[in-house]
Amino acid sequence: MIKQKVRVKSFKINDITVTGRSDQTLLEVAKEHDIFIPTLCYLEGLSCVGSCRLCLVEVKGARELVPACTSKIKEDMEVFTTSEKIDSHRKMILSMIFSERSHTCSVCEANGDCELQDKSVELQLDHSLVPYIDSRFAIDASHKNFVHDPNRCILCSRCVRVCNEIEGANAINIGGRGINSMIIHDMDEPWIDSQSCTSCGKCVYVCPTGALYEKEITKEDVTTKREIIRNLLKNRAENE
């Protein structure tokens, strides 16, 4: 592995000159400068995987759109976070996420506290652009405190990463592949049978949708617990 010295780089986002450290990603620098880039799989303090593809931006000279969350900044690069192409692509991707499983907000635990819901407002997606795939999965409510509802899962893998990188339990993973991918506990067992799960609940509070939620809890408590976990992630990231 090659260790490179950290340097200051200045470049342009939407024709505004910004500066950042060479080990920062485009997304981090954009956030520092209050430039909005939509994200779903990204969560500060967790590794970046670039899987939701909502943070795609245009870099002048690059053949393809690049995800802001994994791209390191470069001197003099010119980045555009919005354009007709980017907006329409993001909308289509978001619509694909909605079409994959059944996201019915009115009966969802996370209604009003859901990042997926927020995205549709942010990106002004008011109707579905693609047909619904209509898949139905069994809900795993075996755990004494938590519920896993795969029907609301968007496979962002935040739960997998937080369990691996922060809790260190590695109890959650992705099983199957392609459209049959599923969040699984241990060797695809009911949650309660998972030997490695510590029941810490971190996965539940990083879930952007209602796919993982706690039983018998008030909205206020959810918000508090979310804050605690996010602050923990942030502090760890800063201390590293």
Partner 1 sequence: MITSLLELEELANCKRCDEASIVEELRVCIGSSCVSRGADEIEKNLKTAIENKGLQNRCRVKGVGCSGLCANGTLVSHYKNSTKENTLYEEIILDDVDALVASIEEQKSYSLKVCDTNQLFFTKQTKIVLENAGIIDPNDIEDYIAHGGYATLFHVLHEMMPVDVINEVKISGLRGRGGGGFPTGQKWESVYKVQSDQKYIVCNGDEGDPGAFMDRALMEADPHKVLEGMIIAGFACEATKGYIYVRAEYPIAVEKINRAIKQARKLGILGNQIAHSGFDFDIEVRLGGGAFVCGEATALIASIEGNRGNPRQKPPHLSDYGLWGEPTVLNNVETLANIPSILKNGGEWFKNIGTPTSTGTKIFALTGHIKNTGLVEVPMGITLRELIFEIGGGVSDGKALKAIQTGGPSGGCIPTQFLDLSIDYDSLKSVGTIMGSGGMIVIDESSNMVELAHFFMDFCKSASCGKCVPCRVGTTQLTLLLEKYIAKEATQANFELLKELSKVVKGTSLCGLGQTAPNPVLSTIRYFESEYLEGIKND
Select 92 or 237, whichever has its Cβ closest to partner 1.
Answer: 92
| Contacts made by residues 131-140, CB under 8 angstroms, sequence distance 24+ | 131/99, 132/99, 132/102, 133/99, 133/100, 133/101, 133/179, 134/102, 135/100, 135/101, 135/102, 136/102, 137/101, 137/182, 140/185, 140/190, 140/191
Select 19 or 135, whichever has its Cβ closest to partner 1.
Answer: 135
CA quadruple 226, 227, 229, 233: dihedral sign? positive
Give the shortest CB-70-to-partner 1 separation in angstroms: 4
DSSP 139: -
Select 30 or 229, whichever has its Cβ closest to partner 1.
Answer: 30
Select 131 or 238, whichever has its Cβ closest to partner 1.
Answer: 131
CA distance 105 to 152: 10
Buried b (16+ CB within 10 A) or exposed e, 15-30: eeebebeeebbbbbbb
Give the shortest CB-58-to-partner 1 separation in angstroms: 11
By CB under 8 A, name the binding residues for partner 1. 1-2, 49-53, 56, 64-65, 67, 70-72, 85, 88-89, 92-93, 96-97, 99-100, 129-131, 133, 154-155, 157, 173-174, 176-181
Select 16 or 133, whichever has its Cβ closest to partner 1.
Answer: 133
Give the shortest CB-183-to-partner 1 separation in angstroms: 11
Select 2 or 121, whichever has its Cβ closest to partner 1.
Answer: 2
Give the shortest CB-63-to-partner 1 separation in angstroms: 10
Token pair 């430039």 in the structure block, residue: 35
Give the shortest CB-3-to-partner 1 separation in angstroms: 11
Give the shortest CB-216-to-partner 1 separation in angstroms: 33
Q: Please state whether beta strands 56-59 and 78-80 pair in parallel, antiparallel, or not at all (unpaired).
A: antiparallel
